[in-house]
Amino acid sequence: MEKIRTYSYQTDLTTAVGKALEEMSEDFTIREWLMANRSEVLEMSLFYFDEEFYKECVMKDTKSELFANLIQRKMASGLPFEESCKDLLLTEEEIRSVKEYMTESAPKQNT
């Protein structure tokens, strides 16, 4: 998987898997099986990378939720949003992510 990950930065995933399989040591125990089942190996690799992306997205949302809760507490004590972010030493990207999270999770007003 490490070689696939490395090659995937340089080329598409299908090529990265193929290249990693080709470079696999001849005496690697399951090399023959992996080579015979290349399409399944590719599908598994695609699932693995999608799982990593999913985990990254969940972590980002969790982090945004945590920061949003902290900022809301600070704002409840009278501190403006911008000052609350400065107190938490948030990056510009984190601030954008928190603002987006707070906007999306805000209760909708009936008009």
Average pLDDT of the residues in 79-101: 86
| Segments making up each domain of the chain, as ranges | 1-36, 50-111
| Average pLDDT for the chain | 79
pLDDT band at 52 (very low <50, low <70, confident <90, very high): low
Which DSSP string do the residues of 54-77 spell out, in sequence order?
Answer: HHHHHHHHHHHHHHHHHHHHHHHT
pLDDT band at 31 (very low <50, low <70, confident <90, very high): confident
Query: Rounded CA gap, 19 and 8, in Å?
Result: 10
Q: Whole-prediction pTM value?
A: 0.45
Structure tokens at 37: 């089942």
Instruction: Report which of residues 5 and 109 the model is more confident about.
Output: 5
Residue 51, CA distances (Å) to 54, 70, 72, 90 in order: 5, 29, 31, 27
